[in-house]
Chains A and B, each alone.
Chain A
């Protein structure tokens, strides 16, 4: 039930609440929002803190590092592709694509770091890649 003229695979850069994220993405920077009240970060980004429900969270540049909490390799059509839940170094878990030379070698707990992939339309999209310099997460 896609609404006409709307492509859900392209982030809405005009959304006032999340515009800075995509502006930063165009500069290759990965942002999170942190709450001024409870000091926690969250995902996905929003002004009202989902943890303590206070408005006025602020953007900060994040480490862009994390570990794979779980993942799947989609094989039903075309080249296999990976969707994962990434546990960010800052705490929250986010859904994201993983790009890897060896997708068959991916494991839960594996360290990854963010990159940005150019899209045909709209801003570049965050992806995560295996990061051999990162620290593996214990179970």
Chain B
């Protein structure tokens, strides 16, 4: 990416249950945290990016609430992958000269609102042409991902034990994160013994439901170099939207198979060069599919890649989600892309917990799968580099 933009501010809201906080408040508090982290002021912001979790009419309501003076705004909605696309779009917008300092925010409170995220029907827009072909059939998020997992098991021999290793690695990381919702290490047997939610996915194959939020500041290199924090450059990006293709859907392949190679090629790097990966972990199967589709292993070999601690920082094949991820730490507003970016920034700044910090971490990949596998999803990838 020419004249690569830089992430100079990152902040994860500390709450995991926002009983006494509004959605707009979560966005604003996250923005304040990211600005303080960057050493910039609200008045420096001239670009703003938010997704469907923002309170009100796209960016208008949030910009008004925070009293931002903007010359560029955007609200690409890719579900939980939105923020990863926002980082790329902010970099492109900055490169085009349309803004200098971009703010990206996320905030949500499904826990306080009692949302049954994965197990109850959710509708965002009654006019969506797909609603009547899914909801009357009692389709829900966890059922769709379970169907994907079963098909992967059928095609490639993947096992529940292998999927469980993804949760085990997340829990071994989360024990070092005081903010994590689930801090106790679990074993493969613990995962298999947890209640079956939607066969073959157990409760511990599913991410947490948490309230909270996060924010990022992206700016141009000339501004970044004068700030105190280590500079994280955005050197590659890709995105891909996948639907049912009129009935030709392939359950076991995600958009990461296109967004990943696009981002890696732009950055001029290969999967083997990546020191740290932030991978969307709505469910264990989501991580496994991304590892394959991003090229960290062959298609179908994801089970063997994750087994026996494959994703544990320091001892595994690849350090993934060292904050504990959505499986153990935080999945604010049912949207995991923001927290994946924030932990990648910590890793590249060498500010992750020492027990999970990748030594001399220079190159990170972050990938998000937003929407839902099994119906329609977006995959967004960014490659980040410590300067």
Q: Is the interface of A mostly helix, strand, loop or mixed?
A: loop
**Contact indicator B247/A108 (Cβ below 8 Å):** no
Q: A71 interface residue, CB < 8 Å from B?
A: yes
Contacts of A22-69 to chain B: CB distance below 8 A: 40-44, 46, 49-51, 69
| Binary contact readout A1-27 vs B (1 if CB under 8 angstroms, 0 otherwise) | 111001011111001011000000000
Q: A83 interface residue, CB < 8 Å from B?
A: yes
**Contact indicator B249/A83 (Cβ below 8 Å):** no
Q: How distant is the Cα of A134 from the Cα of B197 in the complex, in angstroms?
A: 30
Residues A84 and B147 in contact in the complex (CB < 8 Å), given A75-B196, A93-B249 = yes
**Contact indicator B131/A42 (Cβ below 8 Å):** no
Q: B121 interface residue, CB < 8 Å from A?
A: yes
CB nearest to A76 among chain B residues: B197
Residues of chain B lying within 8 A (CB to CB) of residue A76: 119, 142, 195-198
Candidates A8, A49, A91, A93; contact of B131 at CB < 8 Å: A8
Q: A100 interface residue, CB < 8 Å from B?
A: no
**Contact indicator B151/A8 (Cβ below 8 Å):** no
CB nearest to A73 among chain B residues: B199
A111 to chain B, nearest CB (A): 16
**Contact indicator A72/B199 (Cβ below 8 Å):** yes
Q: How distant is the Cα of A49 from the Cα of B248 in the complex, in angstroms?
A: 13
Q: B123 interface residue, CB < 8 Å from A?
A: yes
**Contact indicator B198/A73 (Cβ below 8 Å):** yes
**Interface magnitude class on chain B:** 35 or more
**Contact indicator B137/A97 (Cβ below 8 Å):** yes
**Contact indicator B136/A108 (Cβ below 8 Å):** no
Q: How distant is the Cα of A10 from the Cα of B121 in the complex, in angstroms?
A: 12
**Interface magnitude class on chain A:** 35 or more
Q: How distant is the Cα of A88 from the Cα of B248 in the complex, in angstroms?
A: 11
Residue of A46, A76, A84, A97 contacting most chain B CB atoms (<10 Å):
A76
Contacts of B366-387 to chain A: CB distance below 8 A: 374-375
**Contact indicator B195/A96 (Cβ below 8 Å):** no
A92 to chain B, nearest CB (A): 2
Q: How distant is the Cα of A12 from the Cα of B197 in the complex, in angstroms?
A: 30
Candidates B132, B140, B197, B244; contact of A75 at CB < 8 Å: B197
Residues A83 and B119 in contact in the complex (CB < 8 Å), given A44-B133, A74-B197, A95-B375 = no
B217 to chain A, nearest CB (A): 29
Residues of A within 8 A of B (CB): 1-3, 6, 8-12, 15, 17-18, 40-44, 46, 49-51, 69-77, 81, 83-85, 88, 91-97, 108, 119, 122, 125-126, 139
Query: Given A74-B146, A75-B197, A95-B134, 13 other A-B contacts at CB below 8 A?
Result: A3-B126, A6-B123, A40-B246, A44-B130, A44-B133, A73-B199, A74-B198, A83-B144, A84-B147, A85-B249, A92-B248, A95-B375, A108-B154
Residues of B within 8 A of A (CB): 119, 121-124, 126, 129-140, 142-144, 146-148, 150-151, 154-155, 195-201, 244-249, 251, 374-375
